[in-house]
Amino acid sequence: MKKSLKRILSASLATMLMVGALTGCGGGEKKAEAPKKAPAAATEKIKINFPTASASGALYAVGAAITNNWNKTVPSVSAASQASAGGIANLNMVSDGEAQVSIAISSNAYQCMNGTDSFKGHAYKDLKAIAGLYLNPNQVVVTNKSGITKLEEVKGKHFAVASAGSSVYNECQTHFTAAGIKFPEEIKAEYIAFGGAADMLQNGTIDGAWIMSGTPASAVSQALSANCRLVNISDDIIKKLQEKYPWYVKYTIPAGTYPNQKEAINTSAIKMVMFCRHDLKEDTVYQLTKTFWEHIDELGQSQKNLKGLKPAEAVKDIAKIPLHPGAEKYYKEIGVLK
């Protein structure tokens, strides 16, 4: 009996020792469990919201082409373009963090960075540039029956100036003031965008409209197909503008750009700039900049406004907007910057 009890106790003790040994090696069993999933943030793509302009404008198509290219060539990002109210709205969205990348004329970008004009009290001092793009010319379209042959003669006429506070409205204000017209008091201002203005020009219900867009612009083509013409902006007015606003350049719209346009048109233009938030990672902006320029020929085939762009021109005429470190790294890498 005693021997049996001893055997039972020995067996129990052996079992306890074996369990203890296995417990001591329990780390091996835990390691064999299914691995924990990586945090979602580690695999999520960086979202790029890219506002552009109205769906009928050239900028909308440009933004769509750029974001489609990024989605195909930069695995770490998910980019989406969207319609917007245009440059000023785009800058506000980037400033407020609602968007990460967008496009506007360099003058508006300068005003946003410095908190002037439409951005008074709402400066975004950390705004950064990715690239200067194409020149965006001012195009003054009038009906033949209006009798308008120069900017000074818009005084007292029905003229479409877009919505108050918009980029186009600001262009009207600076140009008409330089032409000696009190704006908007001394014209019969129509606050409509150029899509609607083109229809009104065709119908003859307004005398003229201000259109700022890359050439050829569909709204201008529509108007010039129906008893309308473009008006020159004189060198004197352009010179006055350049003395006060360094972002203006002289621009020529070649003859034949539009239907029934037999002569070249003298006008002013401002460079479009692609900009971004300052807190986008350097490597992300580097990749966005690099792939944009490496596919510029392809982009130019789909969007005429991007055709023929060169990286060497991307850092010029951008109203002193500082480059994002990621973009700067790329331009140094290819020798555009030292």
- pLDDT at residue 54 above 80? yes
Q: Measured between alpha carbons, how far is 233 from 146 in angstroms, rounded to an integer?
A: 17
Work out the average pLDDT over 279-305: 96
Which amino acid appears at position 189 of this protein?
A
Work out the average pLDDT over 79-102: 95
- Is the CATH number of domain 45-135+272-333 3.30.70.20? no
- The pLDDT assigned to 36 comes to 53
Phi (first) and psi of residue 42, to 5 degrees: -70, -25
- pLDDT at residue 276 above 80? yes
Q: Which residue has the higher pLDDT, 17 or 148?
A: 148
Q: Measured between alpha carbons, how far is 108 from 127 in angstroms, rounded to an integer?
A: 12
- The pLDDT assigned to 228 comes to 96
- pLDDT at residue 6 above 70? no
- pLDDT at residue 9 above 50? no
pLDDT tens, residue by residue, 137-182: 999 999 999 999 999 999 999 999 998 878 899 999 999 999 999 9
Sequence-distant (≥ 6) Cβ neighbours of residue 337 within 8 angstroms? 315, 328, 331
Q: Where are the domains of the chain?
A: 45-135+272-333, 136-270
Q: Which of 34-38, 81-85, 214-218 has the lowest mean pLDDT?
A: 34-38
Average model confidence (pLDDT) for the chain?
88
Q: Which residue has the higher pLDDT, 54 or 266?
A: 266
Q: Which of 37-51, 119-133, 207-221, 247-261 has the lowest mean pLDDT?
A: 37-51
- The pLDDT assigned to 165 comes to 79
In order, the DSSP letters of 218-237 are: HHHHHHHTSSEEEEPPPHHH
Work out the average pLDDT over 282-295: 98
Q: Which residue has the higher pLDDT, 215 or 165?
A: 215
- Is the CATH number of domain 136-270 3.40.190.10? yes
pLDDT tens, residue by residue, 230-244: 999 999 999 999 999
- pLDDT at residue 42 above 70? no
Work out the average pLDDT over 114-129: 94
Which sign does the torsion angle of CA 88, 94, 98, 103 carry? positive
- The pLDDT assigned to 43 comes to 66
In order, the DSSP letters of 243-255 are: HH-TT-EEEEE-T
Q: Do 45-135+272-333 and 136-270 agree at the fold level?
A: yes
